[in-house]
């Protein structure tokens, strides 16, 4: 067990958040990650509202540990609004928001009392998100898989850490070895 601001805030044992990875990330993986002490995440892209409702029920039955649901906040994402509505109504332990404009969804999560973790790819987005009060912020650099930022993860994280205050900053991309983990943890 490694105690950090993130583990304390999310009541997890390990400072690891599994990425949502669209519908490729189902209950089996998310529950295994949560049961191992990190934060498992159910992806929503590619799911219908009925399909997500079934996945959320399965996730609640699969683990008593903290977990999250990833909502992609692009306006054009299929069922984006209805998936957010359904997720908020289900009251998961947390919601992760990524891409698009996360601020309206973040405000809704906070109003519903659900901790929200927001992924950003640039400093302007990080600044806007930090003023809204997320549970944590994920800075995604150009070493990350999938859709990425335009700069290196650790230099981006250093810039965001200067502004984050007590909001935990999580890095996405560029941490693949013990040395990389040590570097990220040394930053704060």
The domain segmentation of the chain, as residue ranges, is 5-187
Nearest to 173 by CA among 136, 121, 101: 121
149 falls in which pLDDT band (50, 70, 90)? low
- CATH assignment of 5-187, among 2.40.160.10, 3.20.20.70, 3.30.70.2740, 3.30.540.10: 3.20.20.70
- 114 has a pLDDT exceeding 80: yes
Q: Collapse the DSSP code of 165 into the 3-class scheme (helix H, G, I; strand E, B; otherwise coil) and give the result.
A: coil
Q: What are 8's two structure tokens? A: 């304390």
Phi, psi of 143 (to 5 degrees): -85, -5
Q: What is the pTM of this model?
A: 0.92
Token pair for 93: 């332990």
User: How does the average pLDDT of the chain come out, rounded?
Assistant: 90
């Amino acid at each position: 067990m490694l105690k950090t601001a993130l583990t304390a805030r999310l009541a997890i044992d390990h400072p690891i958040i599994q990425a949502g990875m669209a519908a490729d990330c189902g209950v089996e993986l998310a529950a295994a990650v949560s049961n191992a002490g990190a934060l498992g995440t159910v992806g929503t892209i590619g799911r219908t509202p009925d399909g997500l409702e079934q996945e959320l029920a399965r996730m609640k039955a699969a683990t008593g540990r903290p977990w999250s649901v990833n909502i992609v906040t692009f306006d054009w994402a299929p069922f984006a609004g209805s998936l957010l509505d359904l997720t908020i109504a289900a009251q998961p332990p947390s919601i992760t928001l990524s891409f698009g404009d996360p601020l309206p969804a973040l405000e809704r999560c906070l109003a519903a009392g659900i901790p929200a973790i927001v992924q950003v790819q640039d400093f302007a987005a990080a600044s806007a998100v930090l003023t809204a009060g997320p549970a944590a912020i994920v800075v995604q650099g150009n070493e990350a898989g999938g859709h990425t930022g335009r700069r290196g993860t650790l230099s981006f994280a250093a810039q965001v850490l200067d502004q984050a205050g007590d909001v935990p900053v999580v890095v996405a991309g560029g941490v693949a070895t013990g040395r990389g983990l040590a570097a990220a943890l040394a930053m704060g």
